[in-house]
A and B are shown apart, each in its own frame.
Chain A
C-alpha cells in the first residue's frame, strides 16, 4: 500500500556517491540504462533516437557543476560531477502521494519501487520527488525509477561479486558504493561516517538513504616554502660533493 512501512525496514540499502573522485564520465548512467532497459523495469525507451528531439528514460543522470571557493571556505574551486538517482528516502513522498499503490517502499530493505502493472501514469510521484528521481516513460505510460538494481543485488543467477547495482560495478573511479546503512560495519556506513556523507536537501526532512561524500579538502605536501639555494661554495655545482658510483 502507499503508506510507508510502519516498522523501520530491517535493512536500509542505498548508495554512497563520492564527489571527490567522480569525474563525470557517465559510465554509471549508461550502464544503468543498459542493465535496466532489459531488466525489472524494461524497457527504458528512447524517442526520436536518431533525430532532432531525442529523449530517453534514464534512471541516473550525471550533472556538472562548478563550485567556487569563497573567503569562508578553505576549499579550492572545483568542477564537481554529480550523479543523481533515487535516494530511497525513508519518508518517501513519492510513495504516499501515489493513488494506486504502484509506488511502494519495501519493508524488507527500504527500496522504493514502482509496480508497473498498477501504475496509471498520473505523474504525481514525480511531482512529489524533489530530487527528480522519477522518470516518466511516455511510451509505456508508466513511471520508472532507480530500482537499486533489485534484480541484481539478490540475483542468484549472478556471481556473488556481481550482485551489486550495475552503476556501482561499472564506475571506473570507484566513486559509487552500495550497502546497508543499518549495518554500522558496512562500507557505506563507514564511508559516511569517515567522510561526513551528506544528506541532500536535508531541510526537507525526507531522510534520503543515499549519501554523497563531499570533495575532500586538498591534499598538501611539505610546507610549500621556496627551495633554498644549494650552497655553491665549491664553484659551479659545488654541491655535488661526493663520489658517485655506478
Chain B
C-alpha cells in the first residue's frame, strides 16, 4: 500500500496524543501526577495538539475535505466513522478533565471520572483507528489479530514516553511512569516482532488463479496490464518496498522505536538532572521517529489483493 504521509502522521500523532491523554487521565485520577498547572497545560496541551493535528491532517487526504463532517454518520458499520465520532466525543471528557485539573485543580469525584472517561475514549479511539485496518480483509497484513494490539500498545508506549519527557522537568524519577514506559516498550517490541514474524510466514490464501477463476489450469501469470501507465489502483495499492530496503528499515525501527528508547529509559532512571531530562526527551524523539518508520512499513509492506491481478502470485 502507498504509505501516505498524512495517514502516517494521523495514526502516529493521534496514537501518541491518545496514549498521552489516557495516561494523564488515569495517573491523575490515581493521584500519580502532580497538580502543577504548568505541567498540566504542557502535557494536556501536547496531547490535545497531537490529537487535533492528527485529525486535521487526516482530512488532508480526503478528496472532499469540506464534507468531512459526513464521515460521522455511519458509526453503526464503519470503523472510520466510529473513529471520528469517538474522537469528537472524546473532546468532552478531555475538556472536563482539563477544566478540573487546570482551573479547579481537582482530581477526584467527577474529575477523576472525567480522567477515566478521557482515557477510555482514547483507548476506544485508537482501537477504532486500528480496526479500520484490521477490518480490511483485502489487505491480509492489516487484517491480522495483532494489529489492534500493536496500535494500542504503541500508542501507550509513545504516549508514555512523551509523558515521561514532559514530566521530567517537573518530577525527577517518576518510577511508575518509567516502569510503564519500559513495560509498554517491551510489550510493543515483542508484539511487533510477533507481528512481523506472522506476516513474514503467512501464506496468502488467495492466488492469481483464485482471483481469475482459472484454477482449472496449472500456472497463471500476467501478460499485459489493462493500461500501460500506472493507474489509481497501482499508485495506491501497487506500492511495493524492496525486501532489502524493508529489512534495513525494520532494523532501524528495532533500534529507534524499541531498543534505543528502552536503553534510554533505563539510562534515565540511572541519571538525574539535566542529563536525565535530555535522555527522557531523546527517548521520546527516538520512539516517535521509530514509530513513524514502523507505520511507514505497516503501509509499505501491506499487500492488497488487487495486486493479484497485476502480477502478484499469492496474497
Chain A positions within 8 Å of B, measured between CB atoms, are 1-3, 19, 26, 29, 53-58, 61-73, 75, 77-80, 82, 84, 93, 95-102, 118-124, 126-132, 135-138, 140-143, 198-204, 212, 214-215
**Would you give the 0/1 interface string for B211-234, flagging 1 where the beta carbon is closer than 8 Å to chain A?**
111111111111111110111110
Please pick, from B76, B205, B222, the residue contacting A64 in the complex, using a CB distance under 8 A.
Answer: B222
Main SS of the interface on chain A? loop
Please pick, from A67, A97, A102, A140, the residue contacting B79 in the complex, using a CB distance under 8 A.
Answer: A97
**Sample of 16 further A-B pairs with CB below 8 A, known A63-B309, A64-B225:** A2-B77, A65-B214, A73-B217, A93-B137, A97-B79, A97-B80, A100-B74, A100-B81, A119-B64, A119-B67, A122-B61, A135-B231, A136-B232, A198-B213, A214-B214, A215-B214
- Count of A-B contacts judged by CB separation below 8 Å: 219
- Category for how many chain B residues contact A: 35 or more
Please pick, from B67, B70, B84, B206, the residue contacting A203 in the complex, using a CB distance under 8 A.
Answer: B206
Please pick, from A126, A141, A214, the residue contacting B216 in the complex, using a CB distance under 8 A.
Answer: A214
Is B305 in contact with chain A by the CB < 8 A criterion? yes
Contact B65 A78 (CB under 8 A): no
Give me 23 A-to-B residue pairs in the complex whose CB atoms sit less than 8 angstroms apart, sorted by A's number: A1-B74, A3-B76, A26-B226, A67-B218, A73-B218, A80-B214, A80-B220, A96-B77, A99-B71, A99-B73, A100-B70, A100-B74, A100-B81, A101-B73, A101-B74, A120-B63, A122-B63, A127-B138, A136-B232, A138-B232, A143-B63, A201-B206, A204-B305
Is B210 in contact with chain A by the CB < 8 A criterion? yes
Contact B206 A1 (CB under 8 A): no
Contact A53 B229 (CB under 8 A): yes
Chain B positions within 8 Å of A, measured between CB atoms, are 1, 61-65, 67-68, 70-74, 76-81, 84, 132, 135-139, 205-206, 208, 210-227, 229-233, 236-237, 304-306, 309-310
